[in-house]
Amino acid sequence: GAGVSQSPSNKVTEKGKDVELRCDPISGHTALYWYRQSLGQGLEFLIYFQGNSAPDKSGLPSDRFSAERTGGSVSTLTIQRTQQEDSAVYLCASSPGPGGRGYTFGSGTRLTVV
Amino acid sequence: GQQVMQIPQYQHVQEGEDFTTYCNSSTTLSNIQWYKQRPGGHPVFLIQLVKSGEVKKQKRLTFQFGEAKKNSSLHITATQTTDVGTYFCAGRNSGGGADGLTFGKGTHLIIQP
């Protein structure tokens, strides 16, 4: 597509429920990234996919968080047993490949855990 | 691990005044990128600097990469209300997570008309 598409744009969930966030990167972009941004704060790296390589999961805050990328395209970030501290905007970005290219971010999913 | 520090965290200026944000890395960078995030929006890529001492301009914006490739700055001349937002630097080294790109916490630019 023309840009990075994320869905849903907003998600309100009850504490303890599981949520799935979707990212559809720019067609042809081999690199895909997930970041988390709390209100007024910076970008917290979560996970990075590059082509068919094993993902870099070094930023995932706990084992409740997982992500997959199917067919080198669409990615899903799953948060199990959500907690109130998980409330944030989850941003997905893609780039043409590793090293030296700017990221194109999606509009994010605003997650609120009540 | 690599750390990227940005100062100031907040900057209030009168419309028409200049603005500068500074970015410092604990390690030597292979390149550095700058992003702008408007209130309620998502980060948008502005520019990438690669060479030691590099200076690039985009209209009223001037970006610099330090000689030692450990610091960078973004300067805006004669700010306008459209410049409001948060400016992030992101430094890349040869290893580390997320393709080696580490974001600073950003500088929030507030413009008073």
B65 in contact with A at a CB cutoff of 8 Å? no
pLDDT at B100: 65
CA B111 – CA B86 distance, rounded (Å): 12
Per-residue pLDDT of chain A (114 residues; tens, 9 = 90+): 579 999 999 999 999 999 999 999 999 999 999 999 998 788 999 999 998 888 999 999 999 999 999 887 999 999 999 999 999 999 999 999 876 679 999 999 999 999
Q: What is the mean pLDDT of residues B23-44?
A: 95
Residue B98 clears pLDDT 70, i.e. is over it: no
Nearest Cβ partner of A108 from B31, B42, B44?
A: B42
Q: Kind of pairing, strands B107-112 and B10-14?
A: parallel
Q: Is B108 on the interface with A (CB under 8 A)?
A: yes
Question: Can you give the pLDDT at residue A52?
Answer: 85
Please determine, for residue B97, whether its predicted confidence score (pLDDT) is greater than 90.
no
| pLDDT score at A41 | 83
pLDDT: which is higher, A52 or B42: B42
Interface of A with B (CB under 8 A): 31, 33, 35, 40-43, 45, 48, 50, 56, 58-59, 91, 93, 95, 98-108
d(CA A43, CA A89): 10
Compute the half-sphere exposure of residue B19: CA atoms within 13 Å on the CB side of its CA: 29
Share of chain B above pLDDT 70, in %: 93
Alpha-carbon distance of B77 to B63, in angstroms, equals 12
The pLDDT value given to residue B6: 97
What CA–CA distance (Å, rounded) separates A92 from A108? 7
Distance in angstroms (rounded) separating the CA atoms of residues A83 and A76: 19
Which residues of A are less than 8 Å from B103 in CB distance? 35, 42-43, 45
Of B97, B103, B104, B95, which Cα lies nearest the Cα of B30? B95
User: CB contact, 8 Å: B33 with chain A?
Assistant: yes
Contact across the interface for A45 and B99, Cβ inside 8 Å: no
User: Could you give the CA distance from residue B19 to residue A80 in angstroms, rounded to a whole number?
Assistant: 43
Q: What is the pLDDT of residues B54-76, one digit of tens each?
A: 999 999 999 999 999 999 999 99
pLDDT for B93 equals 77
Q: Which is nearest to B99 in space by CA: A61, A24, A47?
A: A47
The per-residue pLDDT of chain B, averaged, comes to 93
How far apart are the CA of A55 and the nearest CA of chain B, in angstroms? 9
User: Residue B39: which pLDDT band, with cuts at 50, 70 and 90?
Assistant: very high
The DSSP 8-state label assigned to residue A64 in this structure reads T
B50 vs B79: CA distance, rounded Å:
26
Rounded to whole angstroms, the maximal C-alpha distance in chain A is 40
Residues of chain A with C-beta less than 8 angstroms from the C-beta of B89: none
Q: Is B92 on the interface with A (CB under 8 A)?
A: yes
Residue numbers in B near A101 (CB within 8 A):
48
Q: Closest-CA residue in chain A for B43?
A: A105
CA atoms within 13 A on the CB side of A19: 26
Q: Is the peptide bond before B39 cis (omega within 30 degrees of 0)?
A: no
Asked if pLDDT for residue B23 goes beyond 80, the answer is yes
